Amino acid sequence: MNKTIKIDGVEIPFKEGQTIMDAALAADIYIPHLCHKPGLSPHGSCKLCTVDVNGRAASSCTMPAAEGQEIENDTPALNEVRKTITQMLFIEGNHLCPSCEKTGDCTLQAIGYHLGMLDGHFPQFYPRREVDASHPTLVLDRDRCIMCELCVRASRECDGKNVFAISGRGTKRHLIVNSPTGRLADSDIELDDLAAHICPVGAILIKDHGYEVPIGRRTFDLHSVAETDLDEVILTKARHHDEGDDSGEKEGGVYGV
């Protein structure tokens, strides 16, 4: 007999070893998330996926599903906290959506819309962050980095490299590149690495490919962030990005997930 949990009163099955997020995604239930991507190890850092499990707050991307859990997810109180977290992510960086190539494809922006965020609420930090345009095909704009570490994990777990890491604490926390000079050009990242395509915001962008899809016809112009298979939509876009690569396969990667 299937083991089950309940999310917002809906009973869904789960398999041994699955997290609440895994079970929810499998059952087409949307739990807001930014630092989670199926196929990569859970990170538990953004806290957007926080749910109430039997009355106690927990990150659904790290909390194992267990028989009998009664979970609250889509509630006004939880969504208000998620909106506040999203606002803090916006004001801590330099997110100028109208001039960002990622607009319409940015998960942070889409979650802001989903949660009814109308402004940043808090005073802007306007941090000074370094842009690295040294690489021939990629650009790293730390202004938009939300420290989700998806690129860190994708490089390590899927690409078999170790291109990125997070360094520093508090407001000095930032993404670093593991290369002799600290520049992207001197790292071993390549255009077809998953790490080059996985950024949920516009911090890692592909050079020479700006605005090919018009604003108004991008991922989140056509799909709500709450729609299912969104991770698949994004990964499909990534795997078809390179001209001539229609295999979608990448050894050891999550492209086929």
Q: Does residue 205 touch ligand FES according to CB under 6 A? A: no
**By C-beta, is 65 or 147 nearer to ligand SF4?**
147
Q: How far is the CB of 82 from ligand FES (least distance, A)?
A: 11
- CA–CA separation, 63 and 101 (whole Å): 35
One of 46, 106, 140, 177 touching ligand FES (CB under 6 A) = 46
Q: Which does 150 bind (CB under 5 to 8 A by kind): ligand SF4, ligand FES, none?
A: ligand SF4
**By C-beta, is 63 or 198 nearer to ligand SF4?**
198
Q: How big is the site for ligand FES, counted in residues (CB under 6 A)?
A: 12
Q: How far is the CB of 149 from ligand SF4 (least distance, A)?
A: 5
If one counts every other C-beta atom within 10 angstroms of the C-beta of residue 159, the result is 24
Q: Are 150 and 198 in contact (CB under 8 A)?
A: yes
**Nearest by Cα to 38 from 257, 225, 235, 252:** 257
- CA–CA separation, 70 and 52 (whole Å): 8
Find the part of the chain contacting ligand SF4 (CB under 6 A) among 22-30, 52-60, 143-151, 214-222: 143-151
- CA–CA separation, 220 and 215 (whole Å): 10
**By C-beta, is 7 or 100 nearer to ligand SF4?**
100
One of 177, 201, 205, 235 touching ligand SF4 (CB under 6 A) = 201
Written as six digits, the tokens of 40 are 């990569």
If one counts every other C-beta atom within 10 angstroms of the C-beta of residue 1, the result is 4
Q: Are 144 and 201 in contact (CB under 8 A)?
A: yes
**By C-beta, is 12 or 20 nearer to ligand FES?**
20
Q: Does residue 184 touch ligand SF4 according to CB under 6 A? A: no
Written as six digits, the tokens of 54 are 């039997």
Q: How far is the CB of 27 from ligand SF4 (least distance, A)?
A: 27
**Nearest by Cα to 38 from 23, 58, 59, 55:** 23
The contact set with ligand SF4 (CB under 6 A) reads: 145-151, 175, 198-199, 201, 203-204
